[in-house]
Amino acid sequence: MSFDAIIVGAGISGMYQLYRLRELGMKVRVFESGSDVGGTWYWNRYPGARFDSESWSYGFSFSEELLQEWEWPEHFSAQPDTLRYLNYVADKFDLRREMRFNAKVTAAHFDDDTNSWTVTTESGEQATAPLLIMGLGPLSAHTLPNIPGRDDYEGPAYHTARWPHEPVDLKDKRVGIIGTGACGIQAIQTIAKEVGSLTIFQRKPNWAAPLHNSKITPEEQEEIRASYPEIFERCRNTVACFIHNPDLRYTLETPPEEREEFWEKLYSEPGFGIWMGNFRDMVIDEEANRLASEFVAKKIRQRVKDPKVAEKLIPKDHGFGMRRVPLESGYFEVYNQDNVELIDISETPIERITKKGIRTSDRDFEFDFMIYATGFDGVTGPYDRIDIRGSGGRSLKEDWIGTPRTLLGVQAEGYPNMFMVLGPHTARGNIPRNIEEIVDWITDMIKFMREEGYSRSEPRPEAVAEWGEAVEKVSKILLSSKIGSWQTGVNQNVPGRDKPRVLGYNGGVFRYRKRGRQVAEGGYKEFAFR
Ligand code: NAP
């Protein structure tokens, strides 16, 4: 079958891209590996999964009617409500019409003679189009732990990103969980009260701070509905498109009591303020970061009764905010429960997974149920899992072994007509806000190509090199660039992913937006067209 454009992924990116391409009157096919829309929110159904960002800043902004119709029940939406929302959007705009579900894309090959892409799915279905748009998401390639014996376990075991669709009864069960990132933390705090026992295997602790979620009252609902223009304007004008923006004071120039008072306030407020709204130098100055980390460590020591356990929960190898900060609701108090045990596997490593559970260097554990909250091969992982062949048959996976090379994260050198929403080296920040901006930018460029009669576009090598340098340069000043996390592409479960790389543009959304605007307004001179 032939189309004007093929979109891979029916998450937030794919849904909005489809909506925009339809406006251009294009014939589009969307391939999605899941059985319905939703992407991240379709797959991540683990107990406690929810937004860490304010719901009302995290939905689509393109339709005033949708904004006025939809009611978020909570300030930080739970996964079932978010999936309900995305289904509502799909119904309202009749998006499923062009979508093929249960259609996992395994290959995408470019043909230089016809300037078109052929996409193949797992079942062998093929489709061709001049334009290919990847809406893969930065966190869709989940990774299981590379621990010997993983397949030996006889009981049920699920990765958080592949949670069953039917209800899972964990009541009174002996549960083991590996991983204490954002997903692990949400799952742990949610199931701890219900399970018989919970054994948490932690390799490295992560910093976490309170979410302070609450229901949205009818009065707040009215206020939110009336304030969408201001909410989205605020997001456009913050450094990472969240409602929070760094405080303009410097840590060391602020008197200690004033600092303490400020941190207390941030710690008691909802959302990412403690991370995104902290002193401006927290992310670039080691001493400023040490002081902020010390404040959060003090909170952990206050909340966890056993001082030895508290110390194990305080990161020593990276400062606060150097990895994406999970937000929690009673996570640290879980460790005060009698049915919860923390196993520090940096002290007693896991030797293998057994038929009945887990063997560490110290003990054998038996479980009725196991959870792998072991994260994702971030940003480039979803691309690596598709056999993407560009001009002359070159392989994207091989081209990106060292570092990805893109222009603004929207197109890669050597892969004509392949656009990426949230590809490597796009600006970091509030994901739905970034998606809308990037999709709009891509749509404008596609419109330009159609108006000019171009059938092939590719970023010029010098423009790609220049963007790569800009990306590297701004990252150097950030302390987080040296720290291993999905954001720097480190994942010990994936061969070759043990050193931090720069995978996002950290110079702020303003500068990213400005560069994108320059390229568009200048007639896309950074691209070679045919
Ligand atoms: P993650 O933050 O990368 O955490 C993975 C955890 O698994 C880490 O504790 C890691 O330990 C551990 N791990 C991995 N492999 C292991 C192994 N072989 N043995 C022992 N431990 C192992 O992943 P995540 O929790 O899935 O979160 C990823 C991202 O998803 C978050 O940072 C966030 O951006 C996003 N997220 C968003 C929301 C939201 O907004 N609502 C909610 C959840 C997640 P090490 O640290 O030692 O590697």
pLDDT digits (tens, 9 = 90+) for 248-289: 999 999 999 999 999 999 999 999 999 999 999 999 999 999
For ligand 1, whether the C-beta of 150 sits within 6 Å is no
In the prediction, which pLDDT does 312 show? 98
Sheet architecture: strand order including 369-372: 157-159, 369-372, 174-178, 197-202, 340-344
Domain boundary among 357, 372, 387: 372
Domain boundary among 327, 343, 372: 372
Long-range pairs of 523-529 with CB within 8 A, sequence gap ≥ 24? 524/445, 524/448, 524/457, 526/407, 526/459, 526/460, 526/463, 527/407, 527/411, 527/445, 527/457, 527/458, 527/459, 527/460, 527/463, 528/457, 528/458, 528/459, 528/460, 529/449, 529/452, 529/454, 529/456, 529/457
In a domain, 171, yes or no: no
Same domain as 442, residue 487: yes
Average pLDDT over residues 197-220: 98
Evaluate: CB of 207 within 6 angstroms of ligand 1: no
Does residue 163 line the site of ligand 1, with CB under 6 A? no
Q: Which domain holds residue 12?
A: 5-37+95-141+378-529
Together in a domain, 215 and 191: yes
Give nearest CA residue, ligand 1 atom 2.
181
Contacts of 391 (CB under 8 A, 6+ apart): 110, 112, 414, 415, 416, 458
What integer pLDDT is reported at residue 427 of this predicted model?
95
> What is the residue with the minimal CA distance to atom 30 of ligand 1?
182
Taking residue 125's Cβ as centre, other Cβ atoms within 10 Å add up to 14
User: Per the domain annotation, does 186 fall within a domain?
Assistant: yes
Q: So what's the pLDDT on residue 297? A: 98
Q: How far is the CA of 179 from the centre of ligand 1 (A)?
A: 6
Indicate which atom in ligand 1 lies nearest the CA of residue 185.
Answer: 25
Contacts of 474 (CB under 8 A, 6+ apart): 505, 506, 507
Nearest CA to ligand 1 atom 20: 203
Same domain for 364 and 385, yes or no, is no
Report the pLDDT value the prediction gives residue 87, as an integer from 0 to 100: 98
Residue 351 lies inside a defined structural domain of this protein: yes
Residues 323, 392, single domain; the answer is no
Integer CA distances (angstroms), 311 to 204, 208, 286, 305, in order: 12, 14, 21, 11
Q: How far apart are CA 472 and CA 95, in angstroms?
A: 38
**Are 190 and 310 in the same domain?**
yes
Tell me how many domains the chain contains: 2
Residue 115 covered by a domain: yes
Say if 159 falls within a structural domain.
no
- Number of the ligand 1 atom closest to the C-alpha atom of 372: 7
Give the CATH number of the domain where residue 133 resides. 3.50.50.60
User: What band does 210 get if pLDDT is binned at 50, 70 and 90?
Assistant: very high
Q: What is the pTM of this model?
A: 0.98
Q: Give the residue ranges of DSSP H helices in 206-255.
A: 218-236
Q: Give the type of residue at 462.
A: E
Closest CA to ligand 1's atom 18: 145
Domain identity same for 335 and 383 = no
Please state, rounded to an integer, the average pLDDT across all residues of the chain: 98
Q: Is residue 167 part of a domain?
A: no
The pLDDT value recorded for residue 200 is 99
Mutate to test the pocket of ligand 1, among 75, 140, 183, 324 (most ligand atoms within 8 A of CB): 183
Q: Beta strands 174-178 and 197-202: pairing type?
A: parallel
